[in-house]
Amino acid sequence: MSFIRYKKFGNKEYAYEVTSYWDPEKKKPRQKTKYLGIVVDKENKIFRKKRKERKEKLILDFGDVYFLNQFISRTKLFEKFDKKEKLLTLIFYRLCNPSAMRYARIWYDGSIAKVLFDDVSSQRISEFLREIGDEGIQREFFAEYIKKISPEDGLIIDTTALPNQININVWGWHNEEIDKIKLLLVIDRKTSLVFQVYAGQYRGCILLKDNHK
């Protein structure tokens, strides 16, 4: 059996639910009390109980990285990479916040990537970029890419020269005496993914032969 007991402290009145029960061990009736809150409307039994506020622990950007991670996971393109999480962290950083790699940690600390992926630091990023810059690893990636994504669409080779006024060692030649630098891109026809970049005085036919090998 339960009933409500009211107690007044200062200017406020408080309500408690009191339940009577039989204690079989001590063989006598006892009561247990539950706090209901401050009385707002005694007649209609409306009480206001102060809820314990949850403390804010962390605020993270969620949507951008979550979307990209869900999209990338469907391709299964990075399954064979030993350091897949670190690679995806840097890829997502450049997509969401295209800035210098030394600022990646600042972005990481405010993103859901902090929960999803491994920690990143400037030193580790430098080591990792050096590692994935190895031509052997790049060839392994493109071998997997060609199998899964674009096996028969072919390549585009762009040999467009870029006007430039920087004092670079090797200049291109232009019949109107415009300074320029030569840049050759080998690109997948379907997705525009760049397979290789060459700068300097190269002949397109020679590079095409080398890339085919």
The whole-number pLDDT of residue 45 equals 86
Rounded to the nearest integer, the mean pLDDT of the chain is 76
206 shares its domain with 142:
no
Rounded average pLDDT over 175-201: 61
99 shares its domain with 166:
no
41 shares its domain with 62:
no
58 shares its domain with 142:
yes
Look at the block and give the residue holding tokens 């006007």. Answer: 163
pLDDT at 165 over 60: no
pLDDT at 204 over 70: no
89 shares its domain with 136:
yes
Domain residues for 122? Answer: 54-149
Domain count, the chain: 3
Question: Could you give phi then psi for residue 89, rounded to 5 degrees?
Answer: -60, -45
108 shares its domain with 66:
yes
The whole-number pLDDT of residue 133 equals 80
The whole-number pLDDT of residue 139 equals 77
- Answer with the one of 149, 177, 201 that is the final residue of a domain: 149
Write out pLDDT tens, residues 116-135.
Answer: 887 777 677 888 888 888 87
Q: Is there a contact between 168 and 195 (Cβ–Cβ < 8 Å)?
A: no
Percent of the chain with pLDDT over 70: 67
The whole-number pLDDT of residue 208 equals 59
What is the model's pTM? Answer: 0.50
The whole-number pLDDT of residue 44 equals 86
The whole-number pLDDT of residue 19 equals 92
Return left, alpha or beta for 212; rule: phi > 0 is left, psi -120 to 50 is alpha, else beta. alpha
33 shares its domain with 15:
yes
Q: Is there a contact between 4 and 36 (Cβ–Cβ < 8 Å)?
A: yes
Q: Is there a contact between 213 and 190 (Cβ–Cβ < 8 Å)?
A: no
Sign of the torsion angle spanned by Cα atoms 167, 172, 173, 176: negative
Q: What is the CA radius of gyration of the chain?
A: 34
Write out pLDDT tens, residues 21-71.
Answer: 888 888 888 999 988 888 988 888 888 887 777 777 788 888 889 898 888
